[in-house]
């Protein structure tokens, strides 16, 4: 899981500690940051950490995420001191929020991030003219914010935007100036995921226990009926294979390396080897359903408490391995699928003849193609002939055309509800995949001004849900 670490550079943090006149509050915070990085690396070497520091352009930003402890230590040590001109000219909160949004765009909307802020706790004066800082709605509930305050439980006024912007917000009172390792251990309490990194991979009647790296972390509020104190894990069901060339712009939000769990049966390792060779030889990807289910004894598969999370696919990764890609949980548009209009899990075909070349029966029946908005016919030919994808990458007017279409359809609600929701989901997914946070924010800002005041609450809820907005 990703971690962001920011050290407050208030000038007062250069004061020496009461218990140790050789170390300032700022240096003390640096030592805590390094202890935390050591603990994270010891627990999971694949955890990604980024520290707020000076970039090559002489600006503050969260530098590249990395899983190297020594490299992270070097960045912590190189953090500009509060007396340097860049720190004196830059407000910590402004730089922090700008850097958070920039760092989050690398993960889009399906990744739980921990933000750790270390501050000396110096109480500054309130500035009533200061502009309120806000982050996009889609970020607010995706980040756990932990403030380590060396002066008590009351954080400085300048850090109040953290409290107002993040739903999952915590303050640790470190007035006693505890040892660095003790403070780091306190932060480590927030490092556990609700979902185990182990998963069951199922392909037809074959199954294997696998581990995912880095460990996925999905917020519990996104899923219903997950019992407290009950460990859960992923269940990945591969239900078909598509040519890689037929997948136009999959709405990927996160990727994980998939390896065989060493403490489980050996046959699972053989299954992964066969799958890898099959994908390499056929240039295909295995399309999957991804569920969450209770972790039960014996590694068996249960369907009683299983809950669907999202779709995804398994593909060959660089380095001769398997990669599991997650799609956004709200991704409903299927432009990436190619010319298929029906896909289903193997359970839908129980008791039926699944494959017969003479009768032209396949697990993926293809009917007459409708002309959905996300494809353009290559020529004036019959439906089902060659087509090309409508892509923002090769059409400079694509984004403006699609956004204008959304606002036109918005005025025709609820009559055009299905078409509108499909188009809105498609545009939001594309914007997330391409990392265009500004576009999603603009749509979220303008959309309420185009919605009719007479729209019923249920329809309004669906619109806000598709736009990744919270219904107030």
CA atoms of 441 and 456, how far apart (whole Å): 24
Check which CATH number belongs to the domain holding 246 and give it.
Answer: 2.40.290.10
Check which CATH number belongs to the domain holding 20 and give it.
Answer: 3.40.50.410
CA atoms of 125 and 43, how far apart (whole Å): 40
Strands (E), 328-371: none
Q: Are residues 288 and 434 in the same domain?
A: no
User: Which of 466, 239, 253 is CA-nearest to residue 343?
Assistant: 239
Q: Are residues 148 and 204 in the same domain?
A: no
Q: Are residues 411 and 328 in the same domain?
A: no
Q: Is 383 part of a structural domain of the chain?
A: no
Q: Are residues 203 and 126 in the same domain?
A: no
Q: Is 226 part of a structural domain of the chain?
A: yes
pLDDT tens string, the chain, 472 residues long: the values are: 788 999 999 888 888 888 777 889 999 999 999 999 898 888 877 677 888 988 878 888 887 776 678 888 888 888 989 888 888 888 888 889 888 888 877 664 456 788 999 998 777 665 544 546 777 776 777 788 999 999 887 888 888 888 888 888 899 998 888 899 999 988 888 776 666 678 889 887 788 889 887 777 765 545 445 554 456 778 898 877 877 776 766 777 778 889 888 665 666 788 888 889 888 887 888 888 888 877 654 455 555 567 777 888 999 987 788 999 888 766 554 555 544 444 555 455 555 565 555 665 554 443 333 434 444 444 443 333 333 444 565 566 778 888 888 998 888 888 888 888 888 888 887 777 666 788 888 898 888 888 888 888 888 888 888 888 876 5
Crossing angle of helices 25-43 and 69-77, in 10° steps, is 170
Strands (E), 101-228: 113-119, 143-149, 168-173, 195-203, 206-213
CA atoms of 48 and 113, how far apart (whole Å): 10
- What are the phi and psi torsion angles at 231 (to 5°)? -70, 140
For residue 33, what pLDDT is reported? 92
CA atoms of 115 and 35, how far apart (whole Å): 16
**C-alpha 90 chain-centroid distance:** 29
For residue 46, what pLDDT is reported? 67
* Alpha-carbon torsion, ordered 48, 52, 54, 60, to 10 deg: 120
Q: Which residue has the tokens 């239900």?
A: 239
Q: Are residues 332 and 397 in the same domain?
A: no
The token duo for 187 is: 């932060």
Q: Are residues 32 and 171 in the same domain?
A: yes
Q: Are residues 17 and 160 in the same domain?
A: yes
CA atoms of 369 and 163, how far apart (whole Å): 51
As a whole number of Å, the CA-based R_g of the chain is 25
**Please, what is the Cα angle at 269 between 264 and 270, to 5 degrees?**
135
CA atoms of 384 and 378, how far apart (whole Å): 11
Number of domains in the chain: 3
CA atoms of 10 and 361, how far apart (whole Å): 69
Q: Are residues 52 and 129 in the same domain?
A: yes
Q: Which residue has the tokens 């932060």?
A: 187
Q: Are residues 217 and 286 in the same domain?
A: yes
* pLDDT per position as a tens digit, 432-471: 766 678 888 889 888 888 888 888 888 888 888 888 887 6
Q: Are residues 95 and 164 in the same domain?
A: yes
Query: Which residues, in sequence order, are CB contacts of 299 under 8 Å at separation 6+?
Result: 200, 209, 264
For residue 260, what pLDDT is reported? 87
The token duo for 121 is: 């706790």
Q: What is the pTM of this model?
A: 0.56
**C-alpha 291 chain-centroid distance:** 16
SS3 at position 197: strand
Q: Is 376 part of a structural domain of the chain?
A: no
Strands (E), 46-165: 48-54, 60-62, 113-119, 143-149
Q: Are residues 214 and 88 in the same domain?
A: no
Point out the domain boundary residue: 148, 167, 188: 188
8 Å CB contact between 293 and 235:
yes
CA atoms of 348 and 76, how far apart (whole Å): 54
* pLDDT per position as a tens digit, 153-205: 788 888 888 888 888 889 999 888 889 999 998 888 877 666 667 888 988 77
Point out the domain boundary residue: 171, 188, 205: 188
For residue 375, what pLDDT is reported? 42
Neighbouring C-alpha atoms within 13 Å toward the C-beta of 316: 17
Domain extent at residue 217? 195-338
């Amino acid at each position: 899981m990703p971690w962001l670490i920011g050290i407050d550079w208030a000038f007062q943090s250069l004061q020496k500690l009461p218990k140790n006149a050789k170390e300032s509050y700022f240096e003390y915070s640096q030592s805590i940051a390094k202890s935390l990085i050591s603990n994270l690396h010891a627990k999971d070497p694949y955890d990604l950490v980024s520290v707020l520091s000076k970039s090559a352009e002489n600006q503050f930003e969260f530098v590249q995420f990395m899983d190297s402890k020594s490299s992270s230590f070097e960045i912590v040590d190189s953090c500009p001191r509060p007396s340097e001109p860049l720190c004196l000219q830059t407000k910590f909160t402004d730089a922090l929020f700008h850097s958070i949004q920039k760092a989050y765009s690398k993960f889009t909307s399906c990744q739980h991030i921990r933000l750790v802020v270390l501050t000396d706790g110096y109480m500054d004066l309130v500035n009533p003219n200061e502009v309120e800082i806000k982050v996009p709605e889609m970020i607010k509930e995706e980040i756990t914010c932990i403030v380590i305050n060396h002066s008590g439980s009351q954080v400085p006024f300048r850090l109040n935007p953290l409290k107002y912007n993040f739903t999952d917000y915590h303050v640790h009172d470190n007035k006693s100036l505890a040892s660095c390792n003790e403070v780091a251990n306190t932060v480590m309490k927030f490092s556990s995921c609700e979902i185990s990194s182990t998963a069951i991979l199922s392909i037809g009647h074959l199954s294997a226990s696998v581990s995912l790296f880095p460990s996925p972390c999905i917020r519990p509020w996104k899923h219903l009926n997950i019992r407290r104190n009950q460990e859960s894990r992923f269940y990945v069901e591969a239900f078909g294979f598509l040519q890689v060339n037929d997948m136009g712009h999959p709405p990927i939000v996160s990727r994980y390396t998939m390896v065989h769990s060493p403490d489980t049966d050996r046959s699972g390792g053989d299954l992964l080897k066969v799958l890898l060779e099959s994908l390499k030889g056929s240039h295909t990807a295995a399309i999957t359903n991804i569920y969450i289910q209770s972790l039960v004894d014996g590694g068996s598969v249960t369907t009683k408490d299983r809950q669907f999370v999202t779709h995804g696919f398994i593909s060959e990764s660089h380095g001769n391995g398997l990669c599991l890609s997650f799609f956004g949980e709200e991704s409903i548009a299927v432009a990436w699928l190619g010319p298929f209009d029906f896909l289903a899990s193997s359970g839908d075909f129980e008791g039926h003849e699944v494959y017969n070349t003479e009768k032209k029966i396949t697990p993926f029946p293809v009917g007459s193609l409708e002309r959905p908005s996300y494809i353009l016919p290559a020529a004036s030919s019959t439906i089902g002939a060659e087509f090309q994808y409508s892509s923002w990458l090769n059409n400079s007017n694509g984004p403006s055309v699609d956004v204008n279409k959304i606002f036109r359809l918005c005025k025709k609600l609820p009559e055009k509800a299905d078409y509108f929701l499909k188009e809105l989901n498609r545009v939001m997914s594309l914007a997330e995949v391409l990392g265009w946070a500004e576009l999603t924010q603009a749509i979220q800002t303008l959309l309420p001004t185009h919605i009719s005041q007479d729209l019923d609450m249920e329809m309004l809820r669906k619109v806000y849900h598709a736009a990744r907005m919270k219904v107030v």
